[in-house]
Amino acid sequence: MSFLTNSQLDKDSFLRSLQDCNNLDTLQGWVFHDGMHFSDSCQWWNKTKKRLHPHEGVDLVYYLNNTGKQHFFPPGTLIPAITDGIVVHDHQDFLGQTLYIQHEQFQQNSKTLYSLYAHIAINDKLPERVTKHSHLGVIAEVSDSSPVPPHLHLSMAWIDNLLKINTINWNNIADHESICLLDPMNFITGSPQRMQHFLVCK
Ligand SMILES: [Zn+2]
């Protein structure tokens, strides 16, 4: 069993990386609305509607700057990796591309930790091995007719080492017996004590 310590995956490091690679003012934190969190059932862009599946990750849409003002991450926002890893898979959906990063340094019960970044335009010069300072891509533009505003969807998962990663997509990920989706909030906020709980599958 492996634990993510502060030095390996600091609770604020993803926010700080977003801040640094996009030359933003000091970010005070994330802003979440109903429907953005892991397992939420409603749509945050249309609160009267339900999602087809409980949310498979977290949607990063807004942040607070150093004056406490709320801003959104616009299309073109550079996306850093949550920690070091290997680029292993990608696919396209109606809001952009999804990129899969394998974090082989974290193993549990024949499963490996992965991070997934969706609704992005992938950096076409991305090397196979990335660090937490790599630019994976940018938040994708969406068409004027899209009901969903641009944003970054982040999923974290334990995935069985025997599963072929290129068979995974958003239609089969939620109910896959070889995949344990995790709440990404445990990777981007919270205390080190809370981080120990991220290892437990639902
Ligand atoms: Zn999402």
**Residue 132 lies in domain:** 13-199
> 3-state secondary structure string, 136-191?
EEEECCCCCCCCCCCCEEEEEEEEECCCCHHHCCCCCCCCCCCEEEECCHHHHCCC
Rg (CA), the chain: 16
Q: Is residue 62 part of a domain?
A: yes
Q: What does the pLDDT read at residue 2? A: 39
Confidence band for 127, pLDDT divided at 50, 70 and 90: very high
Tell how far the Cα of 161 is from the centroid of ligand 1, in angstroms.
Answer: 25
Q: In total, how many domains does the chain have?
A: 1
Query: Which residues, by Cβ under 5 Å, contact ligand 1, an ion?
Result: 59, 153
Q: What does the pLDDT read at residue 10? A: 57
CATH number of the domain to which 150 belongs: 2.70.70.10
Mean pLDDT, range 194-201, rounded to an integer: 42
DSSP 8-state code for residue 198: G
What percent of the chain shows pLDDT beyond 90? Answer: 62
- What predicted TM-score, i.e. pTM, was given to this entire model? 0.89
Tell how far the Cα of 73 is from the centroid of ligand 1, in angstroms.
Answer: 14
Mean pLDDT, range 148-172, rounded to an integer: 95
Rounded Cα distance, 143 and 17, in Å: 28
Mean pLDDT, range 25-47, rounded to an integer: 90
- With a cut of 60, say whether residue 121 has pLDDT above it: yes
User: Regarding predicted confidence, which is higher, 91 or 47?
Assistant: 91
Tell how far the Cα of 5 is from the centroid of ligand 1, in angstroms.
Answer: 26
Q: Is residue 156 part of a domain?
A: yes
